[in-house]
Amino acid sequence: MSCRAGFVWDSPQHFSRLIEDCGIVCEIVTPQMLAAPFFRGSFNCLVIPTGFGNARYSNLLPALRASSPRIERFVEQGGNLLVYGAADTRPDAYDWLPFRVTYRHDCHPRSISFLGDSVARCIADEYDPAHIECDGSFPEYEGTCVGTDGSAPVILEHRYGKGTIVVTSVHEFPSRNFVKQFCCKGATTTF
């Protein structure tokens, strides 16, 4: 079985190379492709990297908002979605998701405690859990808190339909173990 990930950004990044190094086919999905109604890609997982909400880094947020129904349908039908920190002060940067998440931008290292048995608890396996760089927290949310810095959630999981959405403010690449599990766990779904 071949796993496929859609990496949503303007251009290839080191992150997309990490996904490929994990044995997963990774296709760059630009903001223009994301919002285009004729674009059809088949993926197990979509990845939205850090900085998607900050206009200085990308023009992705308007495209995410425009394609919100397609993203919702993708996850509902079994695709997985990994969303990183918005890297911006706007608390509504996640309003394109099919559930409520409020973001507070605050970049600094944190000691993270992991909760439950979610696959997301292995997202930072390759780092010292007492010193993980995060770019914010989620003071209000729906779903399940999977990781906390003791005072605020920094990793959330929300099961939606047949798929799973993981929202994280961890400002590091995910562990290879997490990438392999999360990307391949999702059903191949047309976006």
Confidence of residue 87 (pLDDT cuts 50, 70, 90): very high
DSSP SS3 for 92: coil
Average pLDDT over residues 176-186: 95
Would you tell me the crossing angle of helices 176-185 and 14-21 to the nearest 10 degrees?
Answer: 80
What DSSP state is assigned to residue 72? H
Q: Which pLDDT belongs to residue 1?
A: 58
Task: Please provide the size of the chain in residues.
Answer: 191
Confidence of residue 172 (pLDDT cuts 50, 70, 90): very high
Cα separation, 45 vs 4, whole angstroms: 7
Cα separation, 152 vs 147, whole angstroms: 9
Q: Which pLDDT belongs to residue 123?
A: 95
- Report the CATH architecture of 4-190: 3-Layer(aba) Sandwich (3.40)
Q: Which pLDDT belongs to residue 69?
A: 96
In the numeric block, the tokens 């044995």 are attached to: 23
The string of pLDDT tens digits covering residues 3-55 is: 999 999 988 889 999 999 999 999 999 999 998 888 999 999 999 999 999 99
> Taking Cα atoms as reference points, which of 134, 136, 158 lies closest to residue 145?
158
Cα separation, 107 vs 121, whole angstroms: 20
Cα separation, 2 vs 23, whole angstroms: 9
Average pLDDT over residues 71-75: 97
Which phi and psi angles does 12 have, rounded to 5°? -60, 150
Cα separation, 60 vs 164, whole angstroms: 21
